[in-house]
Amino acid sequence: MDKMTKTARLEKTDMSHSPNSKSATELAIIILAAGKGTRMKSATPKVLHKIAGLPMISHIVKTAESLKPKKIVTVISEGMDDVAAAVAPHQTAIQKQQKGTADAMKSALSILGDFAGEILILYGDVPLVSKSTLEGLLTHHRKGKFGATVLAMAAPDPTGYGRIFQNPDGTLNRIVEEKDANDDEKIVRLVNSGLMVMEGEDLAEHLDKIKSKNSQGEFYLTDLPKILAEEKIVTGVIRGDFYELRGVNSRSQLAELEMAWQHRKRLELMDEGVTLLDPNTVYFSPDTKIGRDSVIGPGVIFGPNVNIEDNVEIRAYCHIEGAKIKSGAQIGPFARIRPDTIIDEKTRIGNFVEVKNSYIKKGAKANHLGYIGDAELGAHSNFGCGAITVNYDGKTKSKTIIGDHVMVGSNASLIAPIEIGDGAYIAAGSTLTQNVDADDLVVARGKQTNLKGKAKGRMKKE
């Protein structure tokens, strides 16, 4: 390359970081997710293993979307249809052979084409990286007018990571992979997270210059800074939080990241005014919403799509998913609230009560040992101990509608479809198969018969 061409390129690179240039606001994101994760010992692709009930790849896609890039491309291996479905509607690129991260990049560039803006590299098995960290990486890259910028971290144990070596001015000198490092280099604790941002212009040409002269015989993306340096293009370095940038290669690391994610969510909710009586025992989903002054007891698990308003008490060892719980309600202990349930204000769902696909209206109570499924329980009604709605006949699920101010006695069975009018009173032990009008008293149980002396001798006396 002649001197004039190189100078023109450097000027163009500087221009690409100008705040007023088009490419400064154009971002593409490539997520590398082609690894099979053999150490997971699973038939499931590694990136589909879940953190907080959501596949790792879905966590990173959500974070990528928050940056509002022009395009997101995920690199996968052949046969990873489930991963492609998880990242949809974003496009995927197929890496036909596992020949390293630089080779995976080439697969993605076949979709990005001549994109000349910034390209951010993320990993499908690094799910906890935050939007703010990535924004910091991009800002550092732009301010320094670098050709690429790597995100480094100080690892308590650097084993397995590529080591970062910096120049006196803080820019990158070199990256040495673990398997290619000598004993002195392995002592270094500043390591490469794998995440980096680079300029799209001429990237394909730079990637073509990367060689596979290493112990693995692979094409490392970490060799890109060396290629850029040969053209006098500088690579920047910025440090991030190790506990946010950790990857997953084993089940034990998956468990570590689950704990880290839950810890962060617990702190977030407590900062927003939620009381957690024993924080380390409560588990959340990414979309859990809890209002201020709500109190959550120990051992509570929140599945997806839970919305809890202010001043709600969730007592110990409840399992809640797919439900909306309104202000002043009290749930548990040991209650199970299943999807498509609305629990209205000042209601009471007690211990060992299961509610599914039902609307529990204001002030209603189901205090213990009951099942309410596919039903409406009217305002200020009482659903007695052991009572159930019999909603399924083996083929069809039918609805039970209970009016306001109804007393459903203990061990009553309401066989759906059925409607109970306002103010009705269902005697304990009744089995109902017909509708009940308002204010009716219903007794629907077999007549008691006492046979004098017939029990004598039936039970052994000790």
Please tell me the distance from the alpha carbon of residue 380 to that of residue 386, in angstroms, as a whole number: 18
Secondary structure E strands in 179-292:
190-199, 235-240, 275-276, 289-290
What is the C-alpha to C-alpha distance for residues 70 and 16, in angstroms, rounded to an integer? 16
Count of Cβ atoms closer than 10 Å to residue 123 Cβ: 23
Under 8 Å between Cβ of 283 and 303: no
* Structural Rg of the chain based on CA atoms: 31
Distances 358 to 249, 322, 354, 399 between C-alpha atoms, Å: 42, 11, 10, 9
Rounded distance, CA 306 to CA 378, Å?
22
Instruction: Name residue 390's beta-bridge partners.
Output: 415
* Chain center to CA of 55: 6
CA distance 377 to 239: 56
Cis peptide preceding 89, ω within 30 of 0: yes
Q: Coil, strand, or helix at residue 95?
A: strand
CA distance 422 to 438: 5
The whole-angstrom distance between residue 11's C-alpha and the CA centroid of its chain comes to 43
Say which of 49, 59, 206, 368 is annotated catalytic. 368
SS3 40: helix
Secondary structure of residue 256 in the 3-state scheme: helix
Cβ-based neighbour number of residue 358 at 10 Å = 27
The verdict on whether 90 is a catalytic residue reads no
Q: Which of 387, 390, 425 lies closest to 406, judged by CA? A: 425
Residues 6+ apart with CB under 8 A from 457: none
Hey, is 92 helix, strand or coil?
Answer: strand
Interatomic CA distance for residues 248 and 378, integer angstroms = 49
Give the SS3 label for residue 447.
coil
In the block, which residue shows the tokens 């890496």?
95
Which residues are identified as catalytic? 368
